[in-house]
Structure 1
Amino acid sequence: MSGLSMRLAPVSWPLVRPFRIARAEYRTVEALRLELHDGRGNRGRSEALGDDYHGESVASMRRQLEDSRARVEAGIQRVPLIEDFPRGGARHLLDAALWDLEAKRSGVPAWRAAGIGEPRRRVTAFTVGLGDGEELAAELRRVAGFPLLKLKVGGDDPRPLIERVRRTHPDAELILDANAAWSIAQLRSWLPALPGLGVSLLEQPLPPGEDEALADLDHAVPIAADESVDDTATLPPLIGRYDAVNIKLDKAGGLTEALRLADAAGAAGLAVMVGCMGGSSLAMAPAAVLAQRARWIDLDGPLLQREDVSPPIRYEAGWMGFPEPELWG
């Protein structure tokens, strides 16, 4: 793919309310947008936040891409990206833009090129950040009737929060996400109550590096790796310790590697969840392809923001549509 022109632009998305997790608080989503133009009227584009858990930022992604501009514009290819670029947000931006550009040039949608069946709308989690009092009550009113909620928790006993949510959302499926904030003692103490509270998935309870403690843990609720898994290379140590993996394109370094990771996870008997770092519908679009294969989906970034791109992905009462070709792919 020769004769490309690369354009980069930062974008800031204000959030509906401050979003808190165990290790951070966010008031805006800072992302980088990339466009590739082929000089023949075709454009591929993407948006990513990068992997802040590993120290990435808009500035670091931009530096990496600017340092590689000559190689990109000389005609970089999507598949060799996995060998030529380290995993992370910059590679994801290039990968996603190349998927889009290939679709625009060929007329073959990205989902078909990826070997995915005819896309359909899917249930996505709505993530409820850390909070209490009226702030939490307002958030729960906003998602009345949503079929899947993801509750962020810290190092405190999560059972009072779950019980409160259950009073207003008795039928919702619940995912609990500790963002690696628990100790093994806390996990052993709180885990037995989770099935009775209707929790269907527990995400990353322990810090990365402590995963071996899960190997002999008796648990009825599946446990998913998030911070412990990035790409295919990081999967083998997790087999036999986790029941599922949360695949995020910013961490994996793009849809191409994420699809490989999903294949490897499935072969190892692990269920697939697809998540995001946040962002607009453009940031969600490539992950929507992988979402067609996932057991759990957490692609609610646009729902947490005050604004979105046009045309947006359509969200309705916890259901996520598939991106229009005009948006991506």
Structure 2
Amino acid sequence: MSKAEPRRRLRVLCESFPIRGTFRISRGAKTEARVVVAEIDDGGVVGRGECVPYARYGESVEQVAADIAALADAVAAGLDRAGLRTALPPGAARNALDCALWDLEAKLTGVPLWQLADLEAAPGPLTTCFTLSIDRPEIMADSARANCGTPLLKLKLAGDGLDLERVRAVRDNAPAARLVVDANEGWSQEDLRSLPARLADLGVEMIEQPLPAGADDALLGLASPLPFGADESAHGLDSLDGLRGKYRVVNIKLDKTGGLTEALAMKCAAEAAGLEVMVGCMVATSLAMAPAVYVAQGARYVDLDGPLLLARDRAPGLRFQGTTLYPPDPALWG
């Protein structure tokens, strides 16, 4: 009797990592990163993927964990990435499983991830944004001063009448830094009319998601000295057509696309459509950032600073030198 093939086993973990201080955006604040990890064990070889359920998209840690666990039998039967795409919609649950399947394949075959993904070359180091969360202008000035050597700062804004003061405070205290700003859907129509030209005068390069996703038709044909970037308005491949005429940059996040598979496809499609690419993240550990490093190669903006915002990352983690991010070691992922 021939020996049975090893049965793949799925394990789902819910974990929490403390954030350094408090991370604030226009929708609220948090002090911990709650993540869900999918582990697929194939004869002792384990592939992992991490996701961040996001309430903005109707997700919770509990539901995402349950959605992943519900596919245990399918995983055991050999679920692949193509099958996963029909088993789950884009979102956090599919991201964790998709990345776990990539990781498992790389470890089982010994083939570098970049070759499995048909990329042109092995990944190189990247310069990531460093994010300053919303606070009073004087507090953001202190944060900018503490990070004045950072090449690229991303400022969270709120649409509460203080945004221009916030940006001016950061610019005064980090005069050499490149700046991008992110309103996280928090601006009003008046902010949209009055702020872009003033932000351009302060050296801001791009404005991310100024209006709520459902209200961004107001960007159609709008004359602005700065490009707008789509985040909450951009999810998977099927969201790209809705960005035409509104945005010139698209923020690709694996937790929105549903993993590395669709993120790579979305990057190609976005570039073919004439959009510049930003590769972003939720606040999460190095395990969540690692697959995004492959998507971020050659991107106009890289925003993979999640581990830098944590008080404690997982070990082993990604190697950072300041805000220079190095490709993951296979011991972490890939």
TM-score (norm 1): 0.96
1:294 Cα shift? 1.3
CA shift at 1:132, angstroms? Answer: 2.1
Q: Is the 8 A contact 2:280 2:303 kept in 1?
A: yes
- Within 5 Å, which residues of 2 pair with 1:1-329? 3-39=7-43, 41-116=44-119, 117-132=121-136, 135-157=139-161, 158-329=163-334
Aligned partner of 1:175: which letter?
V
- The answer as to whether partners of 1:51 and 1:251 remain within 8 angstroms in 2 is no
Contact 2:11 2:69 in 1 (8 A): no
Q: Deviations over 1:160-182 (max 9, x none)?
A: 11111111111111110000111
When the two chains are superposed, the root-mean-square deviation of aligned CA atoms in Å is 1.5
- Tell me which amino acid in the other structure corresponds to 1:29: A
Query: Contact 1:50–1:251 at 8 Å: present in 2 too?
Result: no
Quick one: distance in 2 between partners of 1:268 and 1:2?
A: 44
Q: What are the Cα deviations for residues 151-198 of structure 1, in whole angstroms up to 9, with x where unaligned?
A: 000013422111111111111111100001112221111111122111
- Is contact 1:143–1:317 with CA below 8 Å preserved after alignment? no
SS of equivalent to 2:261: helix
CA distance in 2, matches of 1:127, 1:44: 30
Helix, strand or coil for the counterpart of 2:79? Answer: coil
Alpha carbons 1:46, 1:283 under 8 Å: kept:
yes
1:202-253 per-residue CA deviation (whole Å, 9 max, x = no partner) reads 0000111222211111112111000011101111111121101101100110
- CA drift at 1:316: 1.7
Say which SS state the counterpart of residue 213 (structure 2) adopts.
coil
Structure 1 position 3, deviation (Å): 2.2
Q: Is the 8 A contact 2:141 2:169 kept in 1?
A: no
Whole-Å Cα distance in 1 between the matches of residues 59 and 97 of structure 2? 16
Contact persistence 2:141–2:166 (CA under 8 A): no
Q: What is the SS of the residue equivalent to 1:167?
A: helix
Structure 2 distance, partners of 1:84, 1:107, is 27
Structure 2: which 5+ runs fail to align?
A: none
1:133 to partner: Cα distance: 6.2
Identity of aligned residues (%): 45
TM-score, with structure 2 as normaliser: 0.94
Q: Distance in 2 between matches of 1:133 and 1:225?
A: 25
CA offset at residue 137 of structure 1? 4.3
| 1:8 Cα offset (Å) | 1.2
Q: Distance in 1 between matches of 2:216 and 2:137?
A: 34
Q: Supply the AA of the counterpart residue of 1:313.
A: L
CA contact (8 A) 1:211 1:238 kept: no
